[in-house]
Structure 1
Amino acid sequence: MSVDNPCLSCGACCASFRVSFYWAEADAESGGVVPLEFTEKLNPWRSVMIGTNQPQPRCHALCGDIGGYTTCSIYEQRPTPCREFEAGSEGCLKARAKHGLSLDLSDWRAA
């Protein structure tokens, strides 16, 4: 059985890493699309997704339970690090392991 989008039954990356990005991605006047209310300033050049700059990160935009049905409430407006993160990558497997999820991704990789 294959899964069209494995991220919809995972969400581990959204609760494992700090998501930092150039501040202008959340500045509408600069062409940014990330909703400002989901971000906080990290330093003069970087912003982070709220909830990810914590010892136990969990992005404020994540909906659902890790390992169950999950979704991103701002998926079409997510920042660059989220757009570049790949399911099945080393970071993905690290996040899945952190949350006790299976590292066997053959179900959806074969699709």
Structure 2
Amino acid sequence: MTTFCTTCGACCAAFRVDFAREELLSEGGPVPDGLTVPVTGRVMRMRGTDHAPPRCAALVGTIGTEARCGIYEWRSSPCRELEPGSDGCLRARRCHGLPALPESF
């Protein structure tokens, strides 16, 4: 996790996070079941990410100040795939009024 990720948290409060049921801890994956809600028989969602505004139940802290994923080591695949500085990261930061990351982060 980069330094920016431990103070940002914008991605945890900008997107709906859906993933395969097989990623649940009870199914042999890393994601704690209690932080999820079922979408279909095969798709789960991180609790809170379907709220308006979204905020993942695993997000700890204040966005843009000191924020982090409380289950970073056990996060779902969509969260693992979102790269710092990516288009998705920058969209989330803009959504929360945060500046783009520096080129050399």
Do they fold alike, i.e. is TM over 0.5?
yes
* 1: CA distance, partners of 2:96 / 2:29: 32
Q: Does 1:77 align with 2:74?
A: yes
Match of 1:20 among 7, 18, 21: 18
What stretches of structure 1 of length at least 5 have no aligned partner? none
Secondary structure at 2:5 match in 1 = helix
Secondary structure at 2:68 match in 1 = strand
Instruction: Show the counterpart of 2:57.
Output: 60
* 2: CA distance, partners of 1:54 / 1:45: 21
Relative to its length, the structure with more helix (as a share) is: 1
Superposition CA RMSD, Å: 1.2
Kindly name which structure, 1 or 2, has the bigger radius of gyration based on alpha carbons: 1
**Structure 1 residues 82-101: aligned runs within 5 Å:** 82-101=79-98
What stretches of structure 2 of length at least 5 have no aligned partner? none
Identity %: 47
Regions of 4+ moved over 3 Å: none
Instruction: Show the counterpart of 1:110.
Output: 104
Q: Does 1:8 align with 2:6?
A: yes
